[in-house]
Amino acid sequence: MLDIATLLGAGLLQAFEPLNLMMIFIGCLAGLFIGAMPGLGSVNGVAILLPVTFLVPPTAAIIFLAALYYGAMYGGAVSSITLGIPGASTAVATVFDGRPMAQQGKADQALTAAAVASFIGGTISVILFTLFAPPLAVFALKFGPQEEFALMVLAFATFIGLGGDDIPKTIFSILLGLVMAAVGFDIISGQPRLIFFDFVELQRGIGFLVLAIGIYGIGEMLWTLENSRGKVRIHAVSTTWKSFKKNLSHIREYLPTTALGSALGFFVGTLPAAGATPASLMSYGLAKTFAKDPDSFGKGNVSGVAAPEAANNAASTGSMLPMITLGIPGSPTTAILLGGMIIWGLRPGPLLFTDRPDFVWGLIGSMYVANFVTVALNLALIPLFVRVLAMPFTILTPIIFILCFVGVFATTDRMFDVWLMLILGLGGYLMRKLNYPVAPAVLAIVLGPLAEQSLRQSLISSRGDVMTFFERPISLTCMLLALALMIYPIWLGIRRRRAGAARGPE
Amino acid sequence: MSTRSAELLMAAGLLLLSLGLMWTVLADELHIGWVEGRGPGAGVWPFWLSAGMALASLWTLVRWFRGATPESRNKAPYIDGQSLGLVLISFVALTVMLVLVHIVGTYIATALFLGFYMRFIGKHSWRTTVNTCIGMVLLIYFLFEWQLTKYLPKGATMFEDGFLWIDNFRWQYLM
C-alpha cells in the first residue's frame, strides 16, 4: 500500500512537470472540442492526432492522448444537451434527459451536472485504477504465451457475446483485422505473406494507423456527412456565477446515482467489447430502475444526465486498466493508444510496471490531474463550446480529411499507405452502413501480431498439442469464458426461435 | 440500389475476398499445416482465418436468403438520396486532392481542396476561405515539415525545386 502511495506521489510530481502539464491542458482542451463536435469522439481524435504526438517524448504523448480521451467524454455531453445530438456515441444516453432539460431552459443546470458527474466518475475510477492495476500487473507477470493467447481470444469473444451486433458480421470483422495484421514478412519464418498484386509496399505490412485513420477519420466523416445534414437548433446557455452556485447545490440529488454509475462504468469499461457507450446506457437504466420517480426520466431528470456521464468517464479510465496491465485494450480508443505505445517502443503489459514505472505512474498521476483540469476547463468554457458547435461542417470536414492524409503520410512516409487509407476508409464506411461493426477490426489489427506470435509459441512449446490452452488454469478459465460468450448468443437465438415455433405460424 | 441488394453484394464480395486471400496463401506456397520440427507454418494464420472469413460471409448470405438480417428486409436506398451528392462530392474531391499531391505537391493540393470545399460547398466568403487555406498550409508546414522533420510529397520536379527556396530560407534565417 505504501509502495503505491510513493509511486503515485512520484507520478503526480511527474504530471506537474511543465511539458506534461501543458500536454494535459492541450489534451483536455482538444478532447473537449472533439467530443463536443457531433460525429467526432475520442477514438477519432486519438487516431487522427496520434501522428502529431511524435513531437514529444512517449510519456508526454500518452499523457496528451489520455487527456484527450478524458476530455472527449466530458465534451460529448455539450452537444447532447445543447443540440440534442450526441457529440459521440458515448453520450447517447445523455440526450435522453439532457435534451428535455435544455428545452425547459435548464441547459446550464444539465451541463453543470454533466461536468460534475464526469468529474466524480473520473475520480472514482482513477482511484479504482490505482488500486487494481499494480496487483493485476503482478498477477499477469506469471502469464505465458498460452495465457496471452487465451486472453486475446476472450477479448474477441466479448465482441461476439456482448457486442450486440450481427454475429457473423462481427466474426468477419475480427478475422479481417487479424488477417490484415498478417500482411508482410512473417516474423518467424521470414517468408513474405499476402503481397497482393506484388505490391512491394505491402512487404512492410499494413500499419494499424492506416486502418484506424481510414475508418475513424475518412469513414467516420463520410458517415457524418450522410447522417447530419439539415440545420439544428442550438439552445442558448447563460452562465453566471450565481446560477453556477445554485446548480452546484443540486449535487445531492444525483450523488448516489453518480457514485453507482461510476463504479459500474469502471468495470464495464474494462471489458473489450463493452466500453463507454454500453456503460453509459446501463448506468442510465440502473439509475431509472432504482429511482423513486422513474416516470420523470426522459422528461428532464438531472439524475438521467449525471448517471450516464459518470459512467462514460469511469469507463474510459476502466478501459485503460487491461491495456496497461495485460496489453489487451478495453476499447477502440485504447487499442489505438496501444498501437501508439508499440510505435514508441514500449511493450504494453505487466512488464511495463517493472521496466518503465516512470511511464506508467506518470500516466496514472496525469489522470488525477487531468480530471481537475478538465472539470475546470469545461465549466469555464461552456459558453465557448456552445459557440464552437455552430461551426459549419464545411470547414471542419476538409480540415479533418487533410489531417488524415498528412497524418498517415507522416507515420509511414509513403503515398501508398495514404491511398490504402482512403480505400479502407471507404470500405469501412460501406460496411458500417450494412451493420458490420468496425471496432473489432481495429482491435484485431493491433492485437493480430501479438496473438499470432503467442499462438505459435504455445504450439511450438507443446509440440502442436492444442490442449495446452486447456491444461493451464488461467488460460483454461479464459478459454471457457470465451466459449461461453460465443455460445451464449447462439443459444439465445435458438431458444427464441423455438419459442416462436411453439407459438405456431403467425 | 436498395439496402437489400447492397447487403447481398457486400456479402458476396467479401466471400470472394476471403477466397482470394486463401488462394494467395496457397499460391505463395506457404505451409498451412504443421511443419515437422519447426511448428505451425507461416500460412496457418492467414489461411485458416481467411477460411473463417469465408464461412462468416456464407453465414451472412444464408441469413440474407432467409431474411434474418434487418438489412435484407430493408428496401430503402443504400445511401440516402438527399445526402448521396454530398458524400460523393466529398469523396471525389478527396481523391482528386490525393492525385494532385503526386503532381503539384502537398501544399498546393491541400490548399486547393480546402478552398474548393469551403468556397463551393460551404459558400463561405473568399476572405474566410483564403485565410483558412493559408493558415492550414502554414500549420502543416510548421507541425510536420519543421517540428517532425518529415519530407511531405512535393510533386513534380518543378514544384519540388520551388520548395527549395522556402526550405533554404528556413535553414538560413529561422533555425
Q: Is the pLDDT of residue A236 over 70?
A: no
Half-sphere exposure (CA, 13 Å, Cβ side) for A189? 21
Kindly report, residue by residue over A367-411, the tens digit of the pLDDT.
Answer: 899 888 888 888 888 777 777 777 777 888 888 899 889 888 888
β partners of residue A438: none
Q: DSSP string of A480-504?
A: HHHHHHHHHHHHHHHHHHHHHHHT-
Contact criterion met (CB < 8 Å) for B151 and A52: no
Q: What is the mean pLDDT of residues A103-127?
A: 87
Extract the C-alpha cell encoding A324. 496497461
Q: Which of A395, A426, A429 is best to mutate for the B interface (most B CBs within 10 A)?
A: A395
At residue B40, φ and ψ (nearest 5 deg) are -65, 140
How close does chain A come to B174, measured CA to CA in Å? 19
At residue A185, φ and ψ (nearest 5 deg) are -75, 135
Contact criterion met (CB < 8 Å) for B42 and A186: yes
Distances from the Cα of B8 to the Cαs of A424, A436, B64, B80, in angstroms?
20, 13, 7, 18
Q: Which of B24, B60, B121 is best to mutate for the A interface (most A CBs within 10 A)?
A: B60
Q: How confident is the model at residue B57 (pLDDT cuts 50, 70, 90)?
A: very high
How close does chain B come to A55, measured CA to CA in Å? 6
> C-alpha A159: how far from its chain's center?
14
| CB nearest B71 (choices: A193, A413, A434) | A434
Contact criterion met (CB < 8 Å) for B150 and A409: yes
Q: Does B142 touch chain A (CB under 8 A)?
A: no
Question: Do residues A62 and A20 touch, judged by C-beta distance below 8 A?
Answer: no
Neighbours of A461 (CB within 10 A): 13
Residue A133 confidence (pLDDT):
86
**In this structure, are strands B34-35 and B39-40 parallel, antiparallel, or unpaired?**
antiparallel
Q: DSSP string of A287-322?
A: HHHH-S-GGGTTS--HHHHHHHHHHHHHHHHHTHHH
Residue A504 confidence (pLDDT):
47
Q: Is the pLDDT of residue A16 over 90?
A: no
Question: Do residues A205 and A183 touch, judged by C-beta distance below 8 A?
Answer: yes
- Pick the closest to residue A155 from A166, A168, A170 (CA basis): A170
Separation between Cα atoms, residue A189 and residue A186, nearest integer Å: 6
Q: Which of B21, B61, B92, B131 is best to mutate for the A interface (most A CBs within 10 A)?
A: B21
* Phi-psi category of residue A40: left, alpha or beta, with phi > 0 → left and psi -120 to 50 → alpha: beta
Kindly report, residue by residue over A249-271, the tens digit of the pLDDT.
Answer: 777 778 888 888 898 888 888 87
Residue B16 confidence (pLDDT):
93
Letter string b/e over residues A17-56, b meaning 16 or more CB atoms within 10 A of that residue's CB: beebbebbbebbbbbbbbbbbbbbbbbbbbbbbbbbbbeb
- H/E element holding A184? strand A184-185
Q: Which residue has the higher pLDDT, A471 or A179?
A: A179
Q: What is the mean pLDDT of residues B44-64?
A: 91
Mean pLDDT of all residues belonging to chain B: 86
Separation between Cα atoms, residue A395 and residue B66, nearest integer Å: 45
Chain A residues within 8 A of B80 when measuring between CB atoms: 226
Residue A506 confidence (pLDDT):
39
| Cα angle for residues A366, A367, A368 (degrees, 5° grid) | 90
Instruction: Please give the ipTM for the structure prediction.
Output: 0.92
Q: How confident is the model at residue B91 (pLDDT cuts 50, 70, 90)?
A: very high
Separation between Cα atoms, residue B24 and residue A194, nearest integer Å: 6
- Pick the closest to residue A31 from A59, A64, A79, A53 (CA basis): A64
Q: Is the pLDDT of residue A203 over 70?
A: yes
Extract the C-alpha cell encoding A338. 496501444
